[in-house]
Amino acid sequence: MLHIVDHVNRDLYRAQIEQHFRIRHDIYVKTRGWKALERSDGREIDEFDTIEAVYLLAIEDDGRVIGGSRLVPTVYPHLLSEVFPHLASVAGVQRGPDIVEWTRYFVVPERRGGGGASDLGGIVAAGVYEYCLNEGYRTMTAIFETYWLTRLLEYGWRIQPLGLPELIDGNWTIAAAIAIDRDGLDAVRDVWSIHGPVLQYHDRHVPFARQIAGNLAKVAGGAGAA
């Protein structure tokens, strides 16, 4: 199962969040060579690892993190809006309460396929999609190497490029919007032979759409009282 780590329960996962920052440093800086993310403390953290970021983490029984992803609501500053808006030069940066950005999709090297994609990679991708659907998101935006366009299309997802590919750090990279709907969830589960939910919810979870609605109601209530 994938654990949902959000602003409500992050205190319970402090050790795993730390571990995952170090894994990200190993993967993205040391292996992939994304030098802009290098930090002397060996943790890969950027300005989008805020309290609003949600992490989906695959955690073994002994507490070891083996895979994960990050989701940032696009109503807040995010990678596409702040760093790579030029990748959305055709359709524009997609933002709104029903749009979320997906970044930092990883599986630790020792749990990858080794001659084909791993089941765990499929579980993390399916979990990301399941999360988005459950939260009321209608679109997920992402920045990825063009290689991933074919793979994500094979998951059965509807994907719309937002701009033209650009060469970034030696890799052709594109921004795209991925439609979130029930068909997309069924399709990715079919591809990976996943027969049900892969997410583990915590008791205090409040879906993002309800949080936003609650905040709007508070604002409206406040305005009325003034």
Of residues 116 and 222, the one with the C-beta less far from ligand COA: 116
Token pair belonging to 147 = 């290689």
Residue 72 interacting with ligand COA (CB under 6 A): no
Q: Which residue has the tokens 């030696």?
A: 170
| Shortest distance (Å) from residue 54 CB to ligand COA | 16
* Per-residue interface string for the shown chain with ligand COA, residues 132-161, x marking contact by CB under 6 A: ------------xx-x--------------
Whether 17 and 50 have beta carbons less than 8 Å apart is answered as: no
C-beta atoms surrounding 50 within 10 Å: 12
Which residues within the stretch 12-31 sit at the binding site for ligand COA (CB under 6 A)?
27
Beta pairing partners, 56: 4, 69
C-alpha span between 23 and 100 (Å, rounded): 23
Q: Which of 29, 72, 107, 174 binds ligand COA (CB under 6 A)?
A: 107
Which pair of tokens denotes residue 83? 């760093």
CA 94, CA 140: separation in Å to the nearest integer? 9
- In the list 116, 196, 222, 224, the residue contacting ligand COA (rule: CB under 6 A) is 116
Residues lying near ligand COA in the complex (CB under 6 A): 27, 32, 104-107, 112-113, 115-118, 121, 144-145, 147
